[in-house]
A and B are shown apart, each in its own frame.
Chain A
Amino acid sequence: MVEQSDEAPAQDVVDLLVEQHALIRDLFAEATGADGRDRRPAFERLVRLLAIHETAEEEVVHPLARRALDGGDGVVEDRLAEEREAKEMLGRLDEMDPESPEFAPLLNQLRDAVLAHAQYEERYEFRYLRQQSTPDQLRRLVTAVRAAEAVAPTHPHPGNESATGNLLAGPVLALFDRMKDAVQQSSRDES
């Protein structure tokens, strides 16, 4: 469930992703603050948003950053490594009972990792995208991110952080692929 933005449509892709970072942070605060049985629904909302958000970044924003930023390849590789690590933690959490004693410490660890990752993106990637891309370019990419939201998977899967990494097969991965296809289709329609 991604909340509708109450902003004017002039929003660009950086606005949208920063807004999602804020929402992710709130959902983490909710999930880490919840006890026992309230934790599962909060965690599920978080997982869903993280999956949408990370796929959109991988498919839409990182490729642009690779092209547009000086040192873009290195910056994007660092972000992808962080995303892989986060997805592994997410996968482990998903298999755990949220009421088990190991769940909360791992969720906290994931929160620290994801929020640091978001800060790095904002500081080392997004701010330069604003400098290096035209406003129109950044606005058009919003549609591609919205397309990812429309497919909305429920589970992320490690090993799928880049457009080339397609090593594992399975229902979860198929969902990722559908989302990726939707984003790519939307990008083609736009161009």
Chain B
Amino acid sequence: MTFNPLRERGIPLDQQIRNWRELDVTPIDPDHADPYTRCRVITMNGIEVEAVLFSHQFARNCLDPDVQRKLAEVRYVEHQQQKAVNWLLPGGASPLETTIAYEQVAVDLTAWVARMEPDPYLKQAYQFGVLEDFDHLYRYANLYEMVQHRKAEKIVDGLTEVMPGRPTKYHHRHPADNVREPYDRNEASPLSKLHALTIMSAEQQTMNFYMNVGPQYMEPIARQLYQEIGLIEEEHVTHYESLVDPGETWWERLVNHEYNECYLYYSFMETESDPKVRAIWELHLNMELEHLRIACELMRQNDGREPEEVLAPELPNALTFEPNKAYLRELLDTQIDLTTLGAGYVREAHERFERMQEQIHGGEEPPSERVIDEHRERFGRDYRLETEGPHPVARLREDQSARA
């Protein structure tokens, strides 16, 4: 791939504002759309939400009113991009269906990033996290069949398996154990920086989504499950944001954000199956090239450095949504028992972990366990979609776990 976003010309900023008609996008079909089109929509929404929130934080820490005005101008366009992207989701899909799609994103996006990540410590962070998202997908899929009488395979369409991962109840770690060590901004590969930003943004959006959607449910088990998994998303955001070097300057961070948006829109333009959605990725790429040019300009003026010093010379391989079933099964087989201690990973339930578990569970089964119990009570089984054979971990196979 020879696309270099630093050399491409985008749409001039003063031509980027869209009118209501242009923002009124046609949503994807809730039952016939490519599940990975929906995953790309959810991913880019998370990226644009991060773009907007980051820019607000930057503006609040910025003393130069000229820079604040420039940030506001670009941010408004980023916000229009968020509207165009997220409004591709159909109103006919329930929040729980969107939730299951969010977890499919978390599984297949994180798995792909883990496979491609060159740094072993960062790779481990993604491998660790993906087994938790994988379990969340299973818990929500069981809730879905209970309240909506539909099976999650209608949403994930056999591309992602649905079965137990690292059990959700063990995700509640002491918050201090969620803080990882950051990469070194001078040593890390540019791809590592893009990966960390992408996964952090996706998890942050999931956290925000669950915070707001959870209380809209009436069923007690649904309300409780969103609380429980919502708190794990807080842990995941802590986990992933701590991978990013906090020593990066604001200008450097801005350039990394804009570059990552170019990378992802370019990737999705290359891999999109729906031509109408592809046209949006292409348009947004052409907007982002200009945002990147402006960010680079600000970096040169204010940081006294050339953006080429921190960015890749050309875009990495296109980030691709594709099944990761064999990879995930291997991780299930080898890493299901891990937890964290300090910035590292261990297999034993250490004292701080045990204490947190006692405090949060209060001697009872958490919602993530009860949702499966209630499902078994009603349907005589849990909900799973195991397309590649029985669960790789013997104790998590259906008959074994029902007896446990």
Contacts and interface: CB of A to CB of B under 8 A. Distances in A.
Given A18-B149, A19-B149, A116-B92, A7 B378 contact: yes
Contacts of A81: none
Nearest to A111: B31
Contacts of A115: 30, 92
A18 B32 CA distance: 21
A77 to B, nearest CB: 22
A28 B31 CA distance: 9
A127 B32 contact: no
B92 A7 contact: no
Given A32-B32, A116-B92, A130-B218, A6 B379 contact: yes
A25 B148 CA distance: 11
Interface residues of A, number: 21
Contact of A26 (B32, B91, B154): B154
A18 B154 CA distance: 16
B31 A29 contact: yes
A32 B379 CA distance: 30
Report the interface size class on chain B.
10 to 19
Which applies to chain B's interface (DSSP): helix, strand, loop or mixed? loop
Nearest to B377: A8
B380 A127 contact: no
Interface in A1-34: 6-8, 15, 18-19, 21-22, 25-26, 28-29, 32-33
Interface in A160-191: none
Which one of B30, B92, B377 has the greatest number of beta carbons of chain A within 10 Å? Answer: B92
Which applies to chain A's interface (DSSP): helix, strand, loop or mixed? helix
Contacts of A119: 91-92, 94
Interface string B18-53: 000000000000111000000000000000000000
Contact of A6 (B30, B94, B147, B380): B380
Contacts of B154: 26
B150 interface: yes
B32 A29 contact: yes
Contact of B32 (A22, A33, A112, A116): A33
Interface string A50-63: 00000000000000
Nearest to A127: B218
A6 B150 CA distance: 12
Contact of A8 (B31, B148, B150, B378): B378
A91 to B, nearest CB: 23
A119 B154 CA distance: 18
Nearest to A32: B32
Contacts of B32: 29, 32-33
A28 B92 CA distance: 13
Interface in B369-398: 377-380
A43 to B, nearest CB: 16
B31 A22 contact: no
Contacts of A33: 32
Contacts of B148: 18, 22
B32 to A, nearest CB: 6
Given A29-B31, A115-B92, A130-B218, A15 B379 contact: no
A116 B218 CA distance: 20
Contacts of A26: 150, 154
Nearest to A33: B32
Contacts of A6: 379-380
Contacts of B218: 127, 130-131
B186 to A, nearest CB: 53
A26 B218 CA distance: 24
A181 B72 CA distance: 65
Nearest to A131: B218
A21 B30 CA distance: 14
Interface string A31-43: 0110000000000
Contacts of A127: 218
A127 B218 CA distance: 8
Nearest to B147: A18
B150 A22 contact: yes
B31 A25 contact: yes
A112 B26 CA distance: 13
A110 B377 CA distance: 37
Contacts of B91: 116, 119
Nearest to A19: B149
Contact of B149 (A22, A130, A131): A22
18 contacts: A6-B380, A8-B377, A15-B149, A18-B147, A18-B148, A18-B149, A19-B149, A22-B149, A22-B150, A29-B31, A33-B32, A112-B92, A115-B30, A116-B91, A119-B91, A127-B218, A130-B218, A131-B218
Given A6-B380, A8-B377, 20 more contacts: A6-B379, A7-B378, A7-B379, A15-B149, A18-B147, A18-B149, A22-B148, A22-B149, A25-B150, A28-B31, A29-B31, A115-B92, A116-B91, A116-B92, A119-B91, A119-B92, A119-B94, A127-B218, A130-B218, A131-B218
Interface of B: 30-32, 91-92, 94, 147-150, 154, 218, 377-380
Interface of A: 6-8, 15, 18-19, 21-22, 25-26, 28-29, 32-33, 112, 115-116, 119, 127, 130-131
**Top 6 closest pairs, chain A to chain B, by CB:** A19-B149, A29-B31, A22-B150, A22-B149, A115-B92, A127-B218
